[in-house]
Every structure is written in structure tokens, then in C-alpha cells.
A and B are shown apart, each in its own frame.
Chain A
Amino acid sequence: MVYMCIHSVRGAEMGKLNYHDTRKQTIVELQNQIWARERGVSEKANRVYSTGCEDLDALLPHQGIRRGSLVEWVGSTSASRAGTLSLIAGKQICPQVLPTVIIDVQHELFPLSLSLLGFDLSRVVLIRPNSEKEALWACEEALRSEAIGVVWANIERMNSTSFRRLQLAVEASAGIGFLVRSAQALKQPSWAEARLLVHPLRSLHGSPCVRVELASSYRKLKHSQADIVIDSVKGTLYGTNTTANPLPLVSQLGVTATYQHSA
């Protein structure tokens, strides 16, 4: 069965393969296609987006965020930066023409920071429900819509049934859902494609670092954790071992200006 799939895929994708510059990428793509055929996933849901950080992509089952999937970001502490990391990744993968829906149960998300992270606020809809029940309803409705790029929600309490409903909704629309939760969630079952546990680390040259750990995934992966730096100036992600993204000079020098603001 699997051999036949490879054969048919290779036949169909022969033209595409010439464009891939690495053998590794080709293998990953073929693996994804085999997986999609085995699970009966649509062509649209087979598309995978990079988070913009190779080390983070390596922790995900498809070497990136697959359409039609939920990703859970669990913060080990309240200021672990799981939310910040997920927002940066969400901004990276959201198609430019589609709006982002942010469901903020705590009513504390600061829209100015979204703008600084590169979100176009004219394409952001912020939903501030009064209860987690309302948030779950809104999240499911949003995930079911094909007109939304990314749905981001910080819902804390979720039973298995609700989670499964969200997963079915996101699969039906081939959308993308990010759930940001606290460490309490680790005790609860997950229907997400990947559950990433985020620990804060001490800063590196003025930019915050996090350790991202793959807490659970339906697929066994070679990497289970990565140390990632969030560039405090650009708001982008890169691995601590990556040299392709040198730190900005300002950060390297550790210079922080004192602003004098007056209205």
C-alpha cells in the first residue's frame, strides 16, 4: 500500500522534485503526502507553512504548521512567552489576505504589541468573550470558517469533547488553530497535532530565549526540544545554534536607549 503511494506520488510529483534543492525536503514532502493519503486528508489540508524558524519547525510533525491542524502552546509559567512565541509564529503563517481572529479570554492581550510584532491591525478581529464557554463556541465557529487565516485562543479549561470538536472543525475548514494554555493543561488530554511546552530561559544579548519542548505529538520525531531566541528588535524567531540570523548590532552591544516620551 505504502509502496504504491510512493510510486504514484513520485509519478505525479516528478516535475516538482526538480525544484527541490535538498533531498531531505523531498523526503519530508513525500512523507506528508503518504500521511495525507493514509488519513484521507484533503489536498488543501496537506499544505505546510514554516514558522520562520527551522529549529521550531523541526519540532512539528510536518516540519511546520499544517493546514487543518491545531497546535497547543503550553506555558510552564505565566510569563513563559508561550503566547508571544505563538503570536509570532501565527503572524508568519497567516496568509496576508486573510484576517486573523484572536480570542482573548483574559482581556489582557495588548493590541499595540501585535502591531509591533508585524500584525496588520486592520485585518485583526479581537474577540473578548465573557466566559470560557463563549470562548469555546467562538473558537469552534471561527475554526469552522474557511475565510480566516489563523485562529488564536487562550482558553484554559477544555474537556476532551470540546477539544475534539475544535479539532474536527479545523480539519473541516483546513484552517489553523493555535491554543495557548497554562501548565495545568498538561494533565488534560489533547487533540492537537502537537503540544509544545514553553519554558522561559535567561536572555541572550537583550533578546529573550525560550526552550520549546515537544510534550506530545501523534508522530515520533527526531527532535524533542529546541532553544529559540526571539529577536527583541525584529520580533522574529531563530534557534540558538543558527548563524543565519545574527543578532542586531544594537542588541549585541546591549545598548538600551532611554526614551523620554511626552504627549
Chain B
Amino acid sequence: MGRIPQRILCLWFPNWALQQRINTQPELQQAVLLLTESRKQGDFVRYCNRFAQRRGVQVGMPISEGRTFAQPHDRLVVEQVQPEQAWQALVEIALRCERFSFRIGLEESSDPESILMDVTGIAHFFSGEQALAAELDRAVTKRQFDGRIAIGNSIGAAWAAAHYMAKPNCPVVIPIENIRQCYSLPLPALRLSEPILQKLYRLGITTIQQVMTLDRRSLARRLGNDILTRLDQFTGQVPEYIDPCHPLPLYRVKQTLEEGISHPEAIEHFLLLLLRQLLALLAPCWLGTRHLECLFLLEDRTSKMLDLRLCETTSEEKHICELLRIHLEKLRLHSPVVGLHLEAKEVAPLGASQEEFFEGVTRNSSRQFSILLNRFSSRLGEQAVIAPYLLPDPIPERSVELASVAGPSLPSATTFNSRYHGLDRPTALFLKPRPIEVIASIPDGPPVVLFWKRKRIEIGECSEPERIESGWWQGEHVCRDYYRVETTSGEWLWVFRRLHDGRWFWHGEWF
């Protein structure tokens, strides 16, 4: 069930607005060309051509100062940057590149300068990725543009390599499974915001490699989740999609009724009728959906949303009907239905499943299991059907994250620090630590007797304390001494003493 690894090509045009302007009027190369932007303080130079730079103009200087560098016989051209024009020109370039990829879009930015292409499974048409990149480079050069090209496993990696590794007429191809060669790149290669970059610089962190070695939890707490998202996008662990220049077709059906319907069977029949129409749109292209949005328009001018998420791309009417019925049973409509909008989201070729559970399993088994998970999620709720994964946090209640199996993508499995062994952690961890009273043989020593809800628990044996402490920057500071105690009847309990106030809690047991 192996999938072809994703390959993304990034084509970056440094100072695109300037390049595009000169490309439309090549004689501007011999003029002092200043493209300006307006700020609160006035107009400033945003871009300037090489000729202007030779005269002494610098990006960021006030326009009045920039003008003074032009000599009397120079042609001086001062214009406002036209972002819409630049954007439109970049889209045109992207559309011209369609022979290199089936899916082409621009980078997500207010002033995009890069074109992104999904070149997965396309390289062999050009005798390899290097040849593909070289041919694209020739096409770009022929049109008098300065472009930098890189191919990588993710949008993040390709973007980083194009901006910080590729040189003019020298494309970079990062081999599959060799993203490590990008780790030495500077921090801006992660596409981080300026405030985050400044904070990291203050900490003395300048490369991706250094960020990789830091504790993720701490990073998130100090700098927000954006940095983790960017890191995961860079390594390809979090999917990032190319928003195509040619908008994707919408798979949506809608119908309004002259009279409202309130009978459950009638509503179900109406929904299934539209579902059949929607699936008929998907069928000719062998497409399925992993997310259905049903918007019920009610007579009182309000609306109710029914969200159906699936573990596997499907277009099987019978299966979707069954799940919709389960959802409909739980949907409370306080007014008759007068219309319905049904949209298939996350549309993909049939057979695209979440393969985390199914590696090495027959297709039939994986399908059976997907159907079962869909039924569980529909009946019990998405939050009740979960995939646990570990986090490198010593605080027990923070060491596990639970992700819904019907979510957009499951987190990758983590390997946990091997300092823990078989029974180092209890099999049951209480949702909230239970406050207990303790009698200890010596002050601040291990417990001898526990009291919980008037119940006396005699302790026979007690382990050495295990100190578990959170970092000072992680918000609420946690510092506890954990003991594994054995009662006189042989039960194992996990208790801790909170160091800042000396209170005792019972946190779990080997049930």
C-alpha cells in the first residue's frame, strides 16, 4: 500500500515586482528605477534596479533621499509598487508552466514571489527531476526572468531550498529521504514571522538544525504553535496544499423546497436524494470524499450544519447513507426544513485512506476497518474515537495527545524515551489527581499510611521518589515527587507529593 512520495517544485523570482516591471519595459534597466511603497511616515523605496543601486540608492530609504542619487543626465523613474499587477503577471507565468505539473499555485503570501508545482510522478516524462528542473530553468531564462528552482519532499523544503540553496541557472534537487541536507539552512528558510525570528535570534538560534534539537512543547509554549507548524510543514509531517491557479471544481448540490418538511423520514429521503446527485458528480472522475457538509436551511431563516467526516475516501452510497442516518438521529431541527446544501469536501481519488492503521493489511481488511471507524465516529462522536500519540513531556497528564481518527490527518507515531520500562507508569491515570492524607515515618519522607475518602490504606513497600518537574517557561510550574507504593494487600498505587505546598495526591494505579 505504498504511496509515491510527494515531490514539490518551487520556482522563486527574487524581487518579482521589479523583475516584472523591467520585463515589460526592458529599457528601464538603463534608468534609475525606484518602486515605492507608502507607509505612515511617508513614501519609501521598496525595490530599486541595479543601475539605481550603483548610484547609491538603497531599499528602505525615503523616496526624497532616493531621488537625490540620480544624476542630471539619468532617467529617473519613480512608481508605486502595483501588487495586483505583479500577482496577475505571476499567475500568467504559472499557467504557462502547466506542462510541468498538473497542480500549480502561488505561495501563500501578501506579495507572492514563488510558484509552487506538484511534480509527483511527473519527473519520468522529462528523464528525471534534474532534467525537469533544467528544462523549466531554460524556459524561464528564455523569457528574460531570473528564477531559482528547487525540488523537495514538501512545500516547505522546496521553498527553503529555492530561496537559500539554488543559484541562477543552477536548480537544486533534494533527494527523497534526504531532507537533512536542508537542516543547515538559516532560520528564515522556515517561513517564520519576523517577531518569532527576532526571539530566536536573541536566544542565539540561527539555523533549522538548532530549532530541531529543541523541545517541541517548550517551543510551542514560548513562541506559539506557528513554529511547530512551519517545522512540520518543512519536514512534510503536516500536509500543506497548493492552492491551484485554476480553481478546483466545487462538488456541491443544493435544492430549496416550496413548503417546509419536518417529518424525519421526509428529511432523510430529501437528504439521500441530494446525496445521490452529489455522488453522481463524483462518479465519472472516480473520486470520493472524506468530508461531507450538509447545511439544512430552516423555515425560521436559521440553518443547521451536519458534518460527516470519514476515515477513508469513499463514494459508496449505502455506507454514507447509513452514517448520515446515524447523524440525523442526533440532529435537532427546531423548525421545518426548506432547503439543503450538500457539499463534498476533501475530494480525492478513491482508495486514499488513512494508512496509519493498515500497513501490511489486505485491502479488504482496511476497508472493513475504515467502515467500522466511520460507524464509531458517527454514533459515538468524533472525540470518542481516538488515536493516542506520545509527547516528550515528563508531566504524566501532558505526555499523551489524543487525536480523532476522523480528523484531517493523524499525527505521526512517536518513539518515547527509553528511560522508561514496562511498569514504570501506571496502567490507569486518574482524570484528576485525588487529594489524599498521608502519614509518613519522617517529615517529607515516603508515606506509610494513606487516607482517601475515610478509607485507610496501609503501605507495605515504597519506591524511591521520582522527581518530575516542568520547565519554568511552561506556564504553570509543576514539581512533584512520585512514589510507587505497594499496599499490604499487594496493590500498586502511584502517589505524589506536590513540592511547593507539600500536599499529597493519588494519581494512578496498576489496575
> Which chain A residues (91-146) contact chain B, with CB distance < 8 Å?
96-99, 106-117, 120-130, 134, 137-138, 141-142, 145-146
Which residues of the partner chain A approach B381 to less than 8 Å between Cβ atoms?
130
CB distance from B493 to the nearest CB of A (A): 6
> Which chain B residues (377-410) contact chain A, with CB distance < 8 Å?
379-381, 384-390, 393-396, 399-400, 402, 405
Asked if B396 and A110 make an inter-chain contact with CB atoms under 8 angstroms apart, the answer reads yes
Q: Does B428 contact A (CB under 8 A)?
A: yes
Choose among A96, A120, A233, A259 the residue with the greatest number of B CB atoms under 10 Å from its CB: A259
Q: Does A77 contact B (CB under 8 A)?
A: yes
Asked if B366 and A147 make an inter-chain contact with CB atoms under 8 angstroms apart, the answer reads yes
Asked if B492 and A202 make an inter-chain contact with CB atoms under 8 angstroms apart, the answer reads no
CB distance from B124 to the nearest CB of A (A): 32
Of B76-84, B85-93, B139-147, B467-475, the stretch lying at the interface with chain A is B467-475
Asked if B422 and A81 make an inter-chain contact with CB atoms under 8 angstroms apart, the answer reads no
Q: Does B427 contact A (CB under 8 A)?
A: yes
Q: Of all chain B residues, which has the CB nearest A209?
A: B490
Which residues of the partner chain A approach B373 to less than 8 Å between Cβ atoms?
125
Q: Does A235 contact B (CB under 8 A)?
A: yes
Distance, CA A29 to CA B396, complexed state (A): 45
Asked if B489 and A145 make an inter-chain contact with CB atoms under 8 angstroms apart, the answer reads no
Asked if B390 and A258 make an inter-chain contact with CB atoms under 8 angstroms apart, the answer reads no
Asked if B425 and A116 make an inter-chain contact with CB atoms under 8 angstroms apart, the answer reads yes
Choose among A109, A121, A147 the residue with the greatest number of B CB atoms under 10 Å from its CB: A147
Distance, CA A248 to CA B395, complexed state (A): 28
- B462-499 interface mask toward A, CB cutoff 8 Å, 1 = contact, 0 = none? 01111111110010000000000011011111000000
Partner of B490 from the list A78, A112, A203 (CB cut-off 8 Å) is A203
Q: Does A226 contact B (CB under 8 A)?
A: no
Distance, CA A244 to CA B395, complexed state (A): 37
Given A125-B357, A126-B386: A138 and B380 interface contact (C-beta under 8 Å): yes
Asked if A147 and B372 make an inter-chain contact with CB atoms under 8 angstroms apart, the answer reads yes
Which residues of the partner chain B approach A162 to less than 8 Å between Cβ atoms?
none
Partner of B491 from the list A115, A200, A230, A256 (CB cut-off 8 Å) is A200
Q: Does B202 contact A (CB under 8 A)?
A: no
Number of interface residues of B (CB under 8 A): 72
Contact size range, A: 35 or more
Which residues of the partner chain A approach B422 to less than 8 Å between Cβ atoms?
116-117, 230-236
Of B48-56, B336-344, B503-511, the stretch lying at the interface with chain A is B503-511
Which residues of the partner chain A approach B46 to less than 8 Å between Cβ atoms?
none
Asked if B490 and A262 make an inter-chain contact with CB atoms under 8 angstroms apart, the answer reads no
Q: Of all chain A residues, which has the CB nearest B489?
A: A200
Partner of A112 from the list B359, B425, B474 (CB cut-off 8 Å) is B425
Asked if A263 and B474 make an inter-chain contact with CB atoms under 8 angstroms apart, the answer reads yes
Q: Of all chain A residues, which has the CB nearest B481?
A: A258
Which residues of the partner chain A approach B430 to less than 8 Å between Cβ atoms?
108
> Which chain B residues (337-365) contact chain A, with CB distance < 8 Å?
356-357, 359-361, 365
Q: Does A187 contact B (CB under 8 A)?
A: no
Given A116-B422, A141-B376, A203-B486: A108 and B465 interface contact (C-beta under 8 Å): no
Which residues of the partner chain B approach A231 to less than 8 Å between Cβ atoms?
422
On A, residues with C-beta under 8 Å from B are: 75, 77-84, 87, 96-99, 106-117, 120-130, 134, 137-138, 141-142, 145-148, 199-203, 207-209, 230-236, 256-263
7 A-B Cβ contacts within 8 A? A112-B420, A113-B427, A113-B429, A115-B416, A145-B369, A230-B422, A231-B422
For the complex of A and B, list the 8 residue pairs with the smallest distance between their C-beta atoms, beginning with the closest.
Answer: A235-B422, A111-B388, A200-B490, A79-B491, A261-B394, A110-B429, A122-B413, A147-B369
